[in-house]
Copies of this chain bind each other. A is one copy, B any other.
Amino acid sequence: MSVQKPSLPKGTRDFGPLQMARRNFILDTIKDTFRLFGFQQLETPAMENLSTLTGKYGDEGDQLLFKILNSGDFLKDVAKEDLDMGAGKVLPKVSEKGLRYDLTVPFARYVVMNRNDISFPFKRFQIQPVWRADRPQKGRYREFYQCDADVVGTDSLLCEVEIIGMIKRVFGQLGINDYSIKVNNRKILTGISEVIGEAGRESELCVAIDKLDKIGWEKVQEELAQRHFNSQAITQLAPIINLKPGNREKIEFLKTFLTKSEIGLKGIAELEEVFSLLQNYGENEAHVDFDVVLARGLTYYTGAIFEVKVHGVSIGSVSGGGRYDNLTGVFGLPGVPGVGFSFGVDRIYDVMEELGLFPSDSLDGTQVLLCHFDQKGFEYGLSLLGELRKAGISAELYPDTGKVKKQLDYANKKQIAFAMILGDDEINQKKVSLKDLKSGSQETLELAEAIAKIK
């Protein structure tokens, strides 16, 4: 067999030990939070039938699906003439499966297939990779994890409150303190477009307004004009764009602004109810920021809209979600409303790295390495190794005899906090010399003392 220089497919990554420890720290925090709030885990297969996936993400999404070649003679249904018809026509003959593109469509499929066994309201979380044939660039990968929680089968605004509660717990536990949970409500956006005389055009309105942070109000006005919003409508928007901070103040302003829009006022009432329930739940409004122009992928959301932004970092939105009316209609089961939220694990990782929030020592690695000078020391170490592990200490015995320096290098590279040096003195005294590899200090101890110290 010829020797190859191996490589990774573009847009994909390995996660080595350090990255995994950090990722696990984030994911475990999120999982613990989901469980504390009563969410249950679901996993779906990487492969779905293309009939399940196509048509759910728009034309562009269909293009970005990774398709699996049929097994065996994948050409058996392909005639030469088919080649003239192009890849789109040949595709159904050579592929019937694709890779998961997000977690929402598989979740909807699961709910429909198991609707008789699920007890609604169904609180599920799902943490799995998804695949998109996007052009890879910095921070955009072809394989990445999504981390979703959804409650379906209830209209209760308690769900919205719990999403805010979960976000606060996760970011608090991760040590991210300077962030905003932006909240809005689709009905408010609908109301705004009604009031400015452009009823039904909130999608277009939001596509333009969504760029406010990036391009500024001047350019947004230009874009709205290009989209044939009339100039009076655009002028009417100005106070919305320039709202002063303060959730109460914004709400009061919008009660007046939206006075002629029933749906707009409904949106405000929902938002007020969420704030009221939040207080009742024992959470204050710290971090929670009513953002009247927060839009996200509007076509989907019907009520609350959420987005989390960490301040002082180069990364934009790190998480988001919202309420929808109809998760499963596309699979023939209408009337399953819900609220979903997705933690952007990769972005949270980048934020924590940028802010230096990961501890400098390893997060879940070996706590102590047993070092020895000779076979006798190796055997003495072996007899201690089981004791350490029984005490719950993650321990290793260096497997080969050799220079202690090499063994300590191994410990340092693996960010192991302690070394036990096992020479003749230690063996004779039935003790251990415990070296703190950070401070360099060393002391000779009984094993039990050393265990207490390591813990």
Contacts and interface: CB of A to CB of B under 8 A. Distances in A.
A5 interface: yes
A66 B66 contact: no
B365 A40 contact: yes
A327 to B, nearest CB: 12
B158 A119 contact: no
Interface string A55-71: 10000000110111101
Interface in A235-269: none
Contacts of A121: 399-400, 410
B24 A41 contact: yes
B382 A281 contact: yes
A4 interface: yes
A86 interface: yes
Nearest to A129: B46
A1 B69 contact: no
A132 to B, nearest CB: 10
18 contacts: A1-B330, A6-B112, A8-B45, A9-B49, A13-B45, A14-B113, A16-B42, A20-B42, A36-B395, A46-B129, A73-B86, A121-B410, A154-B400, A155-B400, A161-B382, A277-B382, A280-B382, A281-B385
Contacts of A40: 17, 20-21, 365, 414
Interface stretch (A89-97, A286-294, A318-326): A89-97
Contact of A47 (B12, B43, B72, B73): B12
Contacts of A41: 15, 17, 20-21, 24
A45 B14 contact: yes
A11 B289 CA distance: 47
Interface string A92-134: 0011110100000000011011100101010110000101010
A387 B280 CA distance: 12
Interface of A: 1, 3-9, 12-17, 20-21, 24, 35-38, 40-49, 51-52, 55, 63-64, 66-69, 71-76, 78, 80, 83, 86-87, 90-91, 94-97, 99, 109-110, 112-114, 117, 119, 121, 123-124, 129, 131, 133, 142-143, 151, 154-156, 158-159, 161, 165, 169, 277, 280-283, 330-332, 364-366, 379, 382-383, 385-387, 389, 392-397, 399-400, 409-410, 413-414
A394 B35 contact: yes
A207 to B, nearest CB: 22
Given A80-B80, A109-B6, A151-B399, A75 B86 contact: yes
B46 A74 contact: no
Given A3-B331, A87-B75, A42 B15 contact: yes
> How many copies of the chain does the oligomer comprise?
2
A414 B20 CA distance: 32
Contacts of A129: 46
A201 B280 CA distance: 77
B280 A379 contact: yes
B35 A386 contact: no
A274 B91 CA distance: 55
B35 A410 contact: no
Contact of A97 (B9, B13, B74): B9
A159 B3 contact: no
A74 to B, nearest CB: 5
Contact of A42 (B17, B64, B86, B379): B17
Nearest to A379: B280
